[in-house]
Amino acid sequence: MSEQSSALNGIRVIDLSRVLGGPYCSQMLGDHGADVIKVEPPSGDETRGWGPPFREGTASYFIGVNRNKRGMALDLRRPEGREVLLRLLEDADVLVENFKTGTLEKWGLGYDSLKERFPRLVHCRISGFGADGPMGGLPGYDAIIQAMAGLMSVNGEAGGEPLRVGLPIVDIVTGLNAVIGITMALHERQRSGRGQFVEAALFDSGLALMHPHFPNVFLGGNQPKRTGNAHPNISPYETYRTATQPIFLSVGNNVQFSRLCEALGAPQLASDSRFADNGQRVVNRDALRDELEAVMADQDGESLATALMKAGVPAGPVLETAQVLEHPHTAHREMVVEMDGYKGTGTPVKFDRTPGTYRRPPPAFAEHNDEVLRDAGFSEEEIEQLISSGVVPQARG
């Protein structure tokens, strides 16, 4: 599949970001055709060392979010390095970075400076708390935001301790919000001819994830609490035991509940006054769980979930990671990608005319130094000088 068939073909992204939110954002842009140049500091993106497991000295953490990028290294602490970056930005559409507020400004590379020289540039900053306000400029980390934004307060078993979501949900969602902001800004640029500053803050993204808990509070509901796998507003909506693996039910209305009861061979539950509507089912959720688990106690979880889905009841087996990766629908949706010894998760955004493409495995450190510099118009003599002086490192320092 050619690069020309992708939605963002012709867009060039200079990616100065490290760790997760920024790289996740730029990988998605790259998957959909953007030419992404990942610029690492002399020490490299720290996630190269976040293992095991490792492949040829690079950790899986880095490999998972850095495909479809050309990699180079640059020492921005040196004036010569900053001049190289300015050359790279001359034909760039997007700059993605997650420097601590004030760092680029100190180097004369803040947005106010860059927009004068590059008025069409979309400058996206991924930050912890934004630049100003009571916590402005402070560093932010996924788990800290999970704690501060309320996610941990509603995650965990009833009566148990607050629990971190078992994946970096805030970093990932912030990366997605950055993609949304960048593509909106590129769309607006078609009308105005001007770029703009886009900020995606982890704190904001964490707060935006708190649905339906914040809306419940806004309408005077009770203080949100931890309910394990149960939904605060819907029942049956949690995991239920079977003879084998548990299944998850997400029954949101009376029609679905009636179908559930029929499929389980327990139609009398649909006419039980305790379960007459969702409000009653939420109040009596413990009794309902007991009734449902009693009739599912001798059934195979995966087979039952499949039968329920075919009957129009939202249900699914609780699968382990290996089972998910081996699932036939995972293959059908092309959600596992393999190329040149690389294996990764496919793009979740699908297009019918301009689908995502997988063109490059994650780069080795400084792998494309020469290529990127030549594309930017540097002569062979200039490239040799930049490398020999250490402005453009060839190996991690």
Phi, psi angles (nearest 5°) of residue 299? -110, 150
Question: Is residue 370 located within the same domain as residue 354?
Answer: yes
Exposure of 125 in the CB half-sphere (CA atoms within 13 A): 21
Q: Which helix (H) or strand (E) holds 55?
A: strand 54-55
Domain count, the chain: 2
Crossing angle between the packed helical segments 169-192 and 21-31, to the nearest 10 degrees: 50
52: preceding bond cis by omega (within 30 degrees): yes
Exposure of 283 in the CB half-sphere (CA atoms within 13 A): 8
Count the neighbouring beta carbons within 10 Å of the beta carbon of residue 198. Answer: 23
Question: Is residue 49 located within the same domain as residue 126?
Answer: yes
SS3 assignment, position 54: strand
Per-residue pLDDT, averaged over 186-212, amounts to 98
Task: Read off the tokens for 152.
Answer: 């941990």
The active-site residue out of 171, 286, 298, 340 is 171
Question: Is residue 316 located within the same domain as residue 339?
Answer: no
Residue 240 scores a pLDDT above 80: yes
pLDDT tens-digit readout, 243-298: 999 999 999 999 999 999 999 999 999 999 999 999 999 999 999 999 999 999 99
171 included as an active-site residue: yes
Task: Look up tokens 């001819």; give the residue.
Answer: 193
Q: Which helix (H) or strand (E) holds 28?
A: helix 21-31
Q: Which domain holds residue 262?
A: 237-326
Task: Read off the tokens for 56.
Answer: 């040829």
pLDDT tens-digit readout, 85-122: 999 999 999 999 999 989 999 999 999 999 999 999 99
Distance from C-alpha of 240 to C-alpha of 249, rounded to nearest angstrom: 8
Q: Which helix (H) or strand (E) holds 240?
A: strand 237-240
pLDDT tens-digit readout, 313-362: 999 999 999 999 999 999 999 999 999 899 999 999 999 999 999 999 99
Distance from C-alpha of 178 to C-alpha of 163, rounded to nearest angstrom: 26
Question: Is residue 75 located within the same domain as residue 142?
Answer: yes
Question: Is residue 243 located within the same domain as residue 176?
Answer: no
pLDDT for position 1: 41
Question: Is residue 344 located within the same domain as residue 286?
Answer: no
Identify the domain boundary among 326, 358, 376: 326
Residues of the chain with pLDDT > 90: what percent? Answer: 96
Yes or no: say if 281 and 258 are a contact pair by the CB < 8 Å rule: no
Distance from C-alpha of 358 to C-alpha of 346, rounded to nearest angstrom: 9
Longest dimension (CA), the chain: 84
Question: Is residue 248 located within the same domain as residue 376?
Answer: no
Question: Is residue 72 located within the same domain as residue 144?
Answer: yes
Identify the domain boundary among 289, 310, 326: 326
pLDDT for position 2: 44
- Residue 227 lies inside a defined structural domain of this protein: no
Yes or no: say if 51 and 60 are a contact pair by the CB < 8 Å rule: yes
- CATH number, position 66: 3.40.50.10540
pTM of the model: 0.93
- Residue 217 lies inside a defined structural domain of this protein: no
Question: Is residue 38 located within the same domain as residue 184?
Answer: yes
Question: Is residue 162 located within the same domain as residue 252?
Answer: no
Yes or no: say if 7 and 88 are a contact pair by the CB < 8 Å rule: no
Rounded to 5°, angle at Cα 90 from 390 and 13: 80
